[in-house]
Amino acid sequence: MSAFDLPIEQLWTYRPPRDEPADFDLFWKQTLADARRPDLAVACDPVDAGLSTVDTFDLTFAGYGGQRVHAWLVRPHGAAERLPCFVQYVGYGGGRGCVTEHLLWASAGYAHIVMDARGQGNDTPDLVVPADGGESGHVTRGSRDPATYYYRRLFTDAVRCVEAARALPWVDPARIVVGGVSQGGGIGLAVAALDPAVAALLCDVPFLCHWPRAVRMALRPPYADVAELCARLRHRADGVLATLRYFDGLHFAARATAPAVFSAALLDQTCPPSTVFAAYNHYAGPKEMVVFPFNDHEGGGAPHAQWQLGRTRELLA
């Protein structure tokens, strides 16, 4: 049982109503259509990381607004055949990190792409930063309007990253898996809805789900940063919550059909388990949930990642 959220018996059936905007689908259709006007312009430059069992590359492509977005690509050394590919999105406040941090999936025979999060890492600045006083981090940036909100740009980058993966000659376009942990899981959930051709979703302790409950319940940032903004600038609270309706994992979950593996930690005070189960219970495709009864937001860690390798192999088969 969670220390502060619903009991596990209630979590399995927790399926709150979705309060999605009437133009939700049109908003994302137009956003992606605009993003696709510039050429994808995929570039893949070798990086010497001093490794002999994998090949490493700096992958770049045109994301939101045509801006160059960076990602690491790691693949088995000398691989010539088309490989299954895991496109990974990173947690909040971090970028793609060091290429040597990302060796697991390539060691298992995958092409592994780790996308930089614009403005959060060191390699991809967020060149479109609306003037919007009173913000406290990426989660509130541009939150006056869905058109200027930070996650409109980041979700678009994430979809374009999958399109860049398909353009690579050593990636099997029919076997692209998306996902990540926390923010990465929430981004992966959005991509699974916006790009229905992805083969599977790995959605671990996802952030960006069930905003109305999350911002009132989470004890830590990033959700707590939204609550703090709404408390400090009370006249903006309704507008912020209206913006967040366009970026709620519940609405994406209802549109995603790829096989999905979720995970939730019952002591998670960053992404409360009820917000994760809300997305899971709305998910439209084949799905399974892994529960960590005694873990906080660290989730399943390395043992879970190792388990995911075998489970992903089964899903792609």
Catalytic residue set: 182, 268, 297
The residue type at 171: V
The 3-state DSSP class for residue 106 equals: helix
Q: E strands, 54-207, where? A: 54-62, 68-76, 83-89, 111-115, 171-181, 200-204
Non-local (6+) Cβ contacts of 86 within 8 A are 105, 110, 111, 112, 113, 176, 177, 178, 179, 202, 312
Q: Which of 17, 147, 206, 175 is nearest to 86 (CA)?
A: 175
Element at 305 (helix H, strand E): helix 301-316
Give residue for tokens 């994760």.
276
- Order of strands, edge to edge, in the sheet holding 83-89? 43-46, 54-62, 68-76, 111-115, 83-89, 171-181, 200-204, 260-265, 287-292
Could you tell me if 106 and 54 are in contact, meaning their C-beta atoms sit under 8 angstroms apart? Answer: yes
Could you tell me if 259 and 285 are in contact, meaning their C-beta atoms sit under 8 angstroms apart? Answer: yes
Q: What's the number of CA atoms in the CB half-sphere (13 Å) around residue 8? A: 13
